[in-house]
A and B are shown apart, each in its own frame.
Chain A
Amino acid sequence: MIIKYSVVVSPSLKANQRQVTTTMPESTKMKKPDVKIVILGDMNVGKTSLLHRYTERKFKDTISTVGGAFFLKQWGPYNISIWDTAGREQFHGLGSMYCRGAAAVILTYDVTNWQSLAELEDRFLSLTDTASTDCIFAIVGNKADLTDPHAQAATSGGGQADAELGGVQTQPLPACPTPPASPLLNKQVSKEDAMALYGRVLRYKGLEEKTSPPAEKMCFETSAKTGYNVDMLFETLFDMVLPSILKKRREGENSTVDLEESRGSKRTKAGCCA
């Protein structure tokens, strides 16, 4: 009877720049999220581990996600819900529901598995049809620690600074359970492949490359196991979705009247699909 998600709001670790939240999680549990970020990707690419690494600061074995789970993150004054979806084919149909109205989608693949990248395009991209029109996309190659010595270096904090520090020669790696000498696996997906995919995603969504965030910024290689690039991934996205939160807040300001209007616009939009 283990269901693999947690609704725990942990205080922001960037307390210095963010409002420090109380350690009492329940006080924030009932809050309505301001914006939604969805993690998509084939099974076993490490979606749950990524989220877990970010929220719990650790890596542990997870079982295959059932259905979906979400996590509420307090980011400054805003609540951001991050949905972890199930990669299994069985739950594929639920994906578009999770994506509905999403402000950002994290398309996750496994750097040691070419097929996982291909699946993003074949199966998962279409799920994002329901996402918000100004949705931001990130392409994330997880399990970078298996192929890249840099990624082995990052420790639990997983910040950029760690990543920059970690040269090939500079480890002992006390924080990393993987022995540094572990044979590196063949990297099947290069960052260029991911960036090419990003371009195709923009084209699929009919987005201008010029007005969208550049591919270099939106393609990440991460390791949930070592924490490499994980904080950077989430925090980059949080900062990028802030405008859409503000936009949403502005729309919400006129309360009831506006609700009717937004429903009206939904109606016309949905009408063409019917």
Chain B
Amino acid sequence: MSVKAFELVPAVERDQLMGDKARINIECVECCGKHLYVGTNDCFIYHFLLEEQTSAKGRPAYVTQKLLHKYLGLKKPVVELRAASALERLIILCDGTITVVDMVTLETVPVGGAKIKGVAAFCVNENPVTGDPFCVEMAVVSSRRRAVQIFSVHEDRVQMLKEVATPEQPVAVSLDGYFLCLALPAQYMILNYKTGASQDLFPYDCEERKPIVKRIGREEFLLAAPGGLGMFANAEGISQRAPVKWSESVIAAAVCYPYVVALDEGFVTVHSMLDQQLKQTLAFRDGHLLQDFEGKVVLASTKAVYVLVPMPLERQIQDLLAGHRVEEALILTEGAQRNIPKDKFQILHRRILQQAGFVQFGQLQFLEAKEHFRKGQLDVRELISLYPLLLPASSSFTRCHPPLHEFADLNHLAQGDPEKVQRCKRFLISYLREERTSDGVNGFREDVDTALLKLYAELGHESLLDLLASENACLLSDCAPWLEKHQKYFALGLLYHYNSQDAAALQLWVRVVNGDLQDSTRSDLFEYVVDFLSFCPKPDLVWKYADWALQKDQKIGVQIFTKRPISDDETAGKLNPDDVITYLQKHSQALLLYLEHLVLDQRVQKEKFHTHLAVLYTDRVLSLISRSTATEEQLSSAREKLQRLLRESHLYRVQLILGKIQDSDVLLLERATLHGKLEEHETALHILVHQLKDSPAAEDYCSWASASHDHTYRQRLFHLLLGVYLDPDVPGGPQTVAAVDLLNRHADTFDAVRVLELLPDTWSLPLLRPFLCGALRASVHASRTSQVALGLARAENLQLQHDRLKYRGGPIFVSEKKGCRLCHSTFSDPDCVCLPGGTPVHTHCATQRIRDSPTKRRLDHASNHT
């Protein structure tokens, strides 16, 4: 409870009032602007002018000047003073009588009408119901009657408006609007003087204590309750705030929002109305009066007057924050909302929230801190700047002044505790990540992203790469040394790349791959670099590092080219395959892979590539053959590749390859294939049958070579093969078995008649049974099929004729009685010609008519001339 809400400042010293006259006491005070009036028990009124000053130390002080004093001439104490500043009148209660004097001269002003006598107490309505600004409303408690009278005081007259009866003789009164809050001898009550409605509040004992009835705001009163409580009650008699706890001996109370100030025998206590907590206690002996006047709280002992000067709100809040009392500081701030202009309040509130956040941050209460930072719209750089070296050197940021917190930096905050530092860093990471996604960091993305990158790098956070791979505003110049320091070379490369400095990135990565630099971020960095190069749009970089990559590993290195889209258009950053091939000459394996990629994967239809690949394959096979260490497996797989290419490609230069393998007695199959490509089927089959002696291969050859041709071609090939089998002029004679097998297997392919002519007569029928059966069957099948086709065709023809007749119309009747339209003689035989419209005419008539028609005539005429 160490808020310093008020400071006690002396205003009127003893010697300015009564000097050393011991019996003279202060009875009442009134303060109105700079004017302070004091009433004493010897019936004097003093008028002082209070000038507020600030002492050298910044503390408030008052210079008091006595202007006037006046004896009222009644020898009784002055009980109550009230200023009506608009009227320049001072209302005085002395000896049970109300007098009105001029505020300046203190001379009595005649007000007309009867004197208001027998007054026990009065109060002024601070929430007047008449709209007249030059009129003061006043409630007067009579000492003789159970009633309260309402008066209006004008400059020159006092007028009674109303008298309301009360159940008991009131002791004290307060007035707000139409609501009188009364202290009766045994209870408090609210009385609406306009309607007469009343509401009992609660009982108390006036023997025990002096009642306090204090208006604290619109239709709300503060009352002294049993047990030293300060109870709040509104005009409806409902308590809306919890009571404040005073001491039993409370004498007076005043309100200076948001505080309730109370005076007892030894102390002045200050409670907050916002949370009802005791905030400040000031020792003050012989306290006698405590009243608030338009925000000024005046405190008086019997001999001297003091002012309780409220500390500036911000100062109080700062004190609370300095004491780490965040909640209270925020309550106080928010409680001030209604007293401060909106825009000003928002600035203050934001600042306090930020400060509160920093207090909690200092206590490592990150969740709360984050909430306050966010609500206070903290410039994240304030937070980042706490962490040494995180802000880029180029950042224009300077910490806000006055500072939002007491910390020099994170080390100061954590006091060297590394665990705390780590926690703070982790918090900053999570905070910055969330801030990045909000709009709040628009102006200083660079600062935020750079700081985040540095934190990630420092803590080895896995999100480092994500940050660099996504859109970011990390400052290269600032981050690069940091990443180097933390050996995050891979990340640094990414950053270079992001900043379009691929050359730098590659240089760095190459050094890591070569082991010059240590960074274990990626174990497959080489593959990554190759991949990177394969997408790299700058050919010069590709050429620069391709050598390095190929030397390191041709198989992977060639992916630089193979993964890249093929194009002749070099302007789009794509590479010309010819250039690549030229370049790859030194790297045979890579060259092979690249050509395979072009020919087999990309199916580039260029003779050059196909021939090149075929030559490479051939050379490889030939070298394997010549090398004795080569295994069967290697050879067969190499030949497999070659054969496949030879078979499937139509673009390579056959003669060239043929020339290369002409001398090899191993590559017979290949040779056969090549001859096949040249349509030299006889040679090919000869090689297969007589040199290779591989009849299945020969059959396959026939099938392969005729695959894209029609049946006749196929038949021709098979007959050729049969001929080769049956050729008697080769060593070993005709290969009867192979021939029989061929015939039996492909019975339907052969022209049976020609086969039978070819076959030696000695062959037995059962030997050829499957062939003959097949051939016969095929022949019968063909015959029947054609019959069916014929039948179908006929049926179709008939159908068409039928249709034709149908569309031509019905029958035409010709009889001996019917005449020809043209010659008008009757028909003698059924022959007739139908004119369009179905009219029958004689054949000769029709002929005649056509001959005579103009078209015909013209034609004849024309022909005559030619």
Minimal beta-carbon separation of B268 from chain A (angstroms):
14
Q: Are A97 and B204 in contact, with the CB atoms below 8 A?
A: no
Produce 1/0 per residue, A226-245, CB < 8 A to B: 00000000000000000000
**A3 CB contacts on chain B under 8 angstroms:** 244-245, 276-278
Interface residues in A13-58 by Cβ distance below 8 A to B read 22-26, 29-30, 33
Least CB distance from A91 to B in Å reads: 6
Quick check: B231 and A267 within 8 Å, CB to CB? no
Given A7-B276, A70-B242, A270-B198: A93 and B204 interface contact (C-beta under 8 Å): yes
* Cross-interface CB contact of B202 among A25, A97, A268, A270, cutoff 8 Å: A97
Flag if B243 contacts A67 (CB, 8 Å): yes
Query: Which residue of A23, A33, A97, A267 is within 8 Å of B197 (Cβ)?
Result: A267
Q: Which residue of A lies closest to B225 (CB)?
A: A94
Q: Which residues of A contact B375 (CB under 8 A)?
A: 24
Stretch at the interface among B327-335, B596-604, B613-621, B635-643: B327-335
* A274 CB, nearest partner CB in chain B, Å: 4
Inter-chain contacts of B371 with A (CB < 8 A)? 22-24
| Cα of A127 to Cα of B287 in the assembled complex, Å | 37
A101 adjacent to chain B (CB < 8 Å): yes
Given contacts A23-B367, A97-B202, contact A66 B245 (CB under 8 A): yes
A274 lies within 8 A of B277 (CB): no
Q: How far is the CB of A167 from chain B (nearest CB, A)?
A: 40
The reply on A68 being an interface residue by CB < 8 A is yes
Contact A100 B237 (CB under 8 A): yes
Query: Any chain B CB within 8 A of the CB of A98?
Result: yes
Bound-state CA distance A3–B433 (Å) is 43
* Complex CA–CA separation, A166 to B380 (angstroms): 52
**Residues of A50-105 contacting chain B, CB below 8 A:** 66-70, 86, 88, 90-91, 93-94, 96-98, 100-101
Select A98's contact among B192, B203, B239, B335, beta carbons within 8 Å: B239
For the complex, give the distance between the alpha carbons of A162 and B184 in Å: 52
Knowing A1-B1, A3-B278 are in contact, say whether A266-B245 is a contact too (CB < 8 A).
no
Q: Does B505 reach chain A (CB closer than 8 Å)? A: no
A25 to B331, CA, bound (A): 10
- Residue ID in chain B nearest A102 by CB atoms: B238
Q: Specify which of A22, A66, A268 is in contact with B227 (CB 8 Å cutoff).
A: A66
Residues of A within 8 A of B244 (CB): 3
Q: Is A183 an interface residue (CB 8 A)?
A: no
Q: For the complex, is A130 an interface residue (Cβ under 8 Å from B)?
A: yes
In whole angstroms, what is the CA distance A26 to B200 when docked? 33
Interface residues of B in 193-230 (CB under 8 A from A): 195-204, 225-227, 229
Given A25-B327, A67-B229, A270-B199, also A97-B238 (CB < 8 A):
yes
Q: Is B568 an interface residue (CB 8 A)?
A: no
Whether A271 pairs with B243 at a CB distance below 8 angstroms is no
Judged by a CB distance under 8 angstroms, whether A257 is at the interface is: no
**Cβ contact of A91, chosen from B227, B278, B334, B368, cutoff 8 A:** B227
Q: What are the residues of chain A within 8 A of B198 when measuring CB–CB?
A: 270, 273-274
| Residue from A30, A67, A100, A267 in contact with B238 in the complex, judged by beta carbons closer than 8 Å | A100
B243 touches A68 (CB 8 A): yes
Min CB distance, A254 to chain B, in Å? 18
A-facing residues in B709-744 (Cβ within 8 Å): none
Residue from A5, A86, A90, A97 having most chain B Cβ neighbours under 10 A: A97
Chain B window 167-208, contacts with chain A (Cβ cutoff 8 Å), 1 for yes, 0 for no: 100000000000000000001000010011111111110000
Q: How far is the CA of A67 from the CA of B243 in the complex (A)?
A: 7
Using Cβ atoms and an 8 Å threshold, which residues of chain B touch A30?
Answer: 274, 334-335
- Nearest Cβ distance between residue B220 and chain A, in whole angstroms? 13
Distance (Å) between the CB of B227 and the closest chain A CB?
Answer: 5
Contact B203 A93 (CB under 8 A): yes
Q: Point out the residues of chain B lying under 8 angstroms from A98, CB to CB.
A: 239
A69 engages B242 (CB within 8 Å): yes
- Given B236, B242, B334, which contacts A5 in the complex, CB threshold below 8 Å? B242
Query: Is A91 a contact partner of B238 (Cβ separation < 8 A)?
Result: no
Interface size for A (C-beta < 8 A) is 37
Contacts of A24 in B (CB 8 A): 368, 371, 375
**In the bound complex, how far is the Cα of B407 from the Cα of A20, in angstroms?**
34
A58 to chain B, nearest CB (A): 19
User: Is residue B26 within 8 Å, beta carbon to beta carbon, of the partner chain?
Assistant: no
Query: Which of A26, A97, A263 lies in contact with B201, CB distance below 8 A?
Result: A97
Q: Mark B317-339, 1 if CB is under 8 A from A, else 0.
A: 00000000001001100110000
A5 contacts B229, C-beta separation under 8 Å:
no
Q: Which residues of B contact A91 (CB under 8 A)?
A: 225-227, 229
Query: Which B residues between 264 and 280 are near A, CB-CB below 8 angstroms?
Result: 274-278
Number of B residues, CB within 8 Å of A? 43
Tell whether, in the assembled complex, residue A66 and residue B236 are in contact, meaning their CB atoms are under 8 Å apart. no
User: Is B192 a contact partner of A26 (Cβ separation < 8 A)?
Assistant: no
Given contacts A23-B367, A29-B274, A271-B196, contact A94 B229 (CB under 8 A): yes
How many angstroms between the C-alpha atoms of A67 and B245 in the bound complex?
A: 8
Given A5-B276, A267-B192, do A100 and B236 touch, yes or no (CB 8 Å)? yes
Is the Cβ of A66 less than 8 Å from the Cβ of B368?
A: no
Beta-carbon nearest neighbor of A33 in chain B: B240
Q: Which chain B residues lie closer than 8 Å to A101 at the CB level?
A: 236, 238
Please state if B195 and A267 are interface contacts (CB–CB under 8 Å). yes
Which residues of B lie under 8 Å from residue A270 when comparing CB positions? 197-199
Distance between Cα atoms of A100 and B240 in the complex (Å) = 10
Bound together, the chains give a CA A97 to CA B196 distance in angstroms of 20
Which residues on A sit within 8 Å (CB–CB) of B274?
Answer: 29-30
* Residue among B197, B245, B367 with the highest chain A CB neighbour number at 10 A: B197
Instruction: State whether A26 and B197 are in contact (beta carbons under 8 Å apart), knowing that A3-B276, A67-B243 are contacts in the complex.
Output: no
Q: Which of A22, A26, A130 contacts B330 (CB 8 A)?
A: A26
A7-B275, A22-B371, A70-B242 known; A93-B1 Cβ under 8 A = no
Answer whether residue B233 sits at the interface, using C-beta atoms and an 8 A cutoff.
Answer: yes
Asked if residues B239 and A7 are in contact (CB atoms below 8 Å), the reply is no
Given the known inter-chain contacts A3-B245, A68-B243, A98-B239, please indicate yes or no for A93 contacting B330, CB distance below 8 A. Answer: no
CA distance A90 to B227 in the complex (A): 7
Interface centre among A24, A93, A266 (most CB of B within 10 A): A93
B331–A26 contact, CB under 8 A?
A: yes
Which residue of chain A has the shortest Cβ distance to B230 in the bound complex?
A67
Q: In the complex the two chains form, what is the Cα distance from A273 to B276 in whole Å?
A: 32
Chain B 1-40 near chain A by CB (<8 Å), digits 1 or 0: 1000000000000000000000000000000000000000
* Distance between Cα atoms of A93 and B167 in the complex (Å): 18
A86 CA / B226 CA spacing, docked (Å): 12
Q: B278 contacts A1, CB within 8 Å?
A: yes
A94 touches B231 (CB 8 A): yes
Q: How far, in Å, is A86 (CB) from chain B's closest CB?
A: 8
Tell me how far the C-beta of A170 lies from the nearest C-beta in chain B, rounded to whole angstroms: 37
Instruction: For the complex, give the distance between the alpha carbons of A33 and B227 in Å.
Output: 26
Report chain B residues within 8 Å CB of A29: 274-275, 331, 334
Complex Cα spacing A243 to B699, Å? 97
| Binary contact track B632-675/A, C-beta < 8 Å → 1, others 0 | 00000000000000000000000000000000000000000000
Among B196, B238, B367, the most chain A Cβ lie within 10 Å of the Cβ of B238
With most chain A CB atoms within 10 A of its CB, the pick from B187, B227, B233, B274 is B227
Minimum C-beta distance from B485 to chain A (A)? 39
Is the Cβ of A7 less than 8 Å from the Cβ of B229? no
Q: How distant is the Cα of A268 from the Cα of B245 in the complex, in angstroms?
A: 34
- Closest B residue, CB atoms, query A96: B202
User: Which 9 A/B pairs are nearest by Cβ-Cβ distance?
Assistant: A67-B243, A93-B203, A267-B197, A67-B229, A93-B202, A274-B198, A270-B197, A3-B245, A26-B330
**A-B contact list, 18 entries, CB within 8 Å:** A1-B278, A3-B244, A3-B245, A3-B277, A7-B276, A24-B368, A33-B240, A68-B242, A68-B243, A86-B227, A94-B226, A97-B231, A98-B239, A101-B236, A267-B195, A270-B198, A270-B199, A271-B197
Q: A90-B226, A93-B226 are in contact. List 7 more A-B contacts (CB 8 A).
A: A3-B276, A26-B331, A29-B274, A29-B331, A96-B200, A97-B201, A266-B197
A residues within 8 Å of B by Cβ? 1, 3, 5, 7, 22-26, 29-30, 33, 66-70, 86, 88, 90-91, 93-94, 96-98, 100-101, 130, 263, 266-268, 270-271, 273-274
